[in-house]
Amino acid sequence: MKDRNPVPPPHPARDVTEHVGYRLKRSAAALRGAMDKALREHGLTVPQYACLELLDEQPGLSNAELARGAFVTRQSMNVVLRGLQEAGLVARPSTTDHGRALPAHLTEEGRDRLDAARNAVYAIERQMIDAIPPRRLTALLADLDRMTEALGG
Amino acid sequence: MKDRNPVPPPHPARDVTEHVGYRLKRSAAALRGAMDKALREHGLTVPQYACLELLDEQPGLSNAELARGAFVTRQSMNVVLRGLQEAGLVARPSTTDHGRALPAHLTEEGRDRLDAARNAVYAIERQMIDAIPPRRLTALLADLDRMTEALGG
DNA sequence: GCTCGTATGTCAAAATACTGACATGAAAGA
DNA sequence: TCTTTCATGTCAGTATTTTGACATACGAGC
């Protein structure tokens, strides 16, 4: 019978639910759930919304760039992009004169749909912000960034 | 031609990458990626690891309880649980004398595998913790909790 | 010119997760 | 007791995401 190998926890915690990773995942899951629900009324999924938002800010992004911006693989974003094109929200040329990357951009309808959905998403963002002391918002963002960078994200 | 409907952002931000939701998702994605990579060497997926960790701490949890603890649906956890049972890491009675919930528990091999994988996961946890000022760790956890609760998570 | 390395778009297949649905078991209330 | 309500386990189907692979296109270095 082998002995168990008790690993000292990274910080004082009585159980896994007190670990940073667990809390982070829980918050992300709550956010995802709230966004799923809110965006469903606008006929959009979370990756679709993320794609529209990125394109609104940076028209001409390629599929690979959108994938990195939305934290999914190129292949997943490709599927998302096809759906958005089929829905008439995004347009993309079939060829390009330089390189392989095909620059995507929003259509008029895409912008309208994004504007409508943004209200719902911003309401969620506000819920999160209002839940924490205003003084700590910048610190929170900075800490999230530091963790992300430490993980090579 | 319709006018666009500019929605005032929830807090001063030049672009979406400065929104709380975006940062949160990015951190969670980085964590997920790091855990995926680390756990692959131990032949485990993230949901599988989460399941083992929950069962180590609370033996006898049912499928539904594990699902809630790992932030997935009952159906998804059912697949995970089947895989772990097939791999001999988890055991579950086929019947029970009271109720429908079937209490799961780790096997000897399951505990060994968990102990091995925990080292890798704790190293990641430590990377995150070391990246932020020690004084802010408690505040960070509290803020994450407040956001989660605000979102009904 | 040529090769090597890197980045991109896309196809195919598998893995993973979800929604919808149904039957079972237990607790609470009329 | 009977009914209602709720939680659970599980099946089926669908949707989503990932891994693996390949061809293409550019730039750096020789």
Q: Kindly report, residue by residue over B110-133, the tens digit of the pLDDT.
A: 999 999 999 999 999 999 999 999
- Determine the distance between A63 (CA) and C4 (C1') in angstroms: 25
Structure-block tokens of residue A34: 């709230």
Please, are residues A131 and B147 in contact by the beta-carbon 8 Å criterion? yes
- Spell out the CATH class of A45-150: mainly alpha
Domain ranges of chain B: 17-150
At a CB cut-off of 8 Å and minimum separation 6, what does B137 contact? A11, A20, B129
Say whether the CB atom of A102 is under 7 angstroms from strand C. Answer: yes
Cα nearest neighbour of B18 on chain A:
A141
Contacts of B73 in chain A (CB under 8 A): none
- Determine the distance between B138 (CA) and D15 (C1') in angstroms: 39
Say whether the CB atom of A75 is under 7 angstroms from strand C. Answer: yes
Contacts of B34 in chain A (CB under 8 A): 151-153
Structure-block tokens of residue B116: 């091995």
Mean pLDDT of A87-106: 95
Higher pLDDT, B97 or A2: B97
Q: What is the pLDDT of residue A1?
A: 61
Cα separation, A153 vs B31, whole angstroms: 8
Q: What is the pLDDT of residue A6?
A: 62
Please, are residues B91 and B30 in contact by the beta-carbon 8 Å criterion? no
Q: What is the pLDDT of residue B14?
A: 79
Farthest CA pair distance, chain B:
68
Q: What's the whole-number average pLDDT of chain A?
A: 93
Q: What is the pLDDT of residue B13?
A: 79
For the segment B77-89, what is each residue's pLDDT rounded down to a tens digit?
Answer: 999 999 999 999 9
Mean pLDDT of A96-122: 95
Structure-block tokens of residue A87: 């829905």
**Model confidence at A9, in pLDDT bands (50, 70, 90)?**
low
Alpha helix positions (H), chain B: 20-40, 46-57, 63-70, 74-86, 108-130, 137-150
Contacts of B27 in chain A (CB under 8 A): 24, 28, 144-145, 147-148, 151, 153
**Token pair 């697949």 is at which residue?**
B79
Helix axis angle, B63-70 to B46-57, nearest 10°: 120
Structure-block tokens of residue A133: 């002391």
Q: Do A144 and B115 touch (CB under 8 A)?
A: no
Selection from B85, B66, B92, B86 nearest residue B77 by Cα:
B66
For the segment A22-36, what is each residue's pLDDT rounded down to a tens digit?
Answer: 999 999 999 999 999
Cα separation, A26 vs A34, whole angstroms: 12
**Model confidence at A13, in pLDDT bands (50, 70, 90)?**
confident
Cα separation, A31 vs A35, whole angstroms: 6
CATH classification code of B17-150: 1.10.10.10
For the segment B30-66, what is each residue's pLDDT rounded down to a tens digit?
Answer: 999 999 999 999 999 999 999 999 999 999 999 999 9
For the segment A128-148, what is each residue's pLDDT rounded down to a tens digit?
Answer: 999 999 999 999 999 999 999
Residue type (1 letter), A150: A
Instruction: Give, as ranges, the nucleotides of chain D with any atom within 7 Å of a protein CB.
Output: 7-13, 16-21, 24-26
Q: A105: part of which helix (H) or strand (E)?
A: strand A105-106
Selection from B93, B32, B88 nearest residue B63 by Cα:
B93
B9 DSSP 8-state letter: P
3-state secondary structure of A14: coil
Structure-block tokens of residue B78: 């059912």
Q: Number of CB pairs < 8 Å for A and B?
A: 195
Give yes or no for residue A98 having a pLDDT over 70. yes
Q: What is the pLDDT of residue A12?
A: 66
Please, are residues A32 and A20 in contact by the beta-carbon 8 Å criterion? no
Farthest CA pair distance, chain A:
68
Contacts of B25 in chain A (CB under 8 A): 28, 31-32, 71
Give yes or no for residue B150 having a pLDDT over 80. yes
For the segment A50-87, what is each residue's pLDDT rounded down to a tens digit?
Answer: 999 999 999 999 999 999 999 999 999 999 999 999 99
Closest nt to residue A46, judged CA to C1': D16
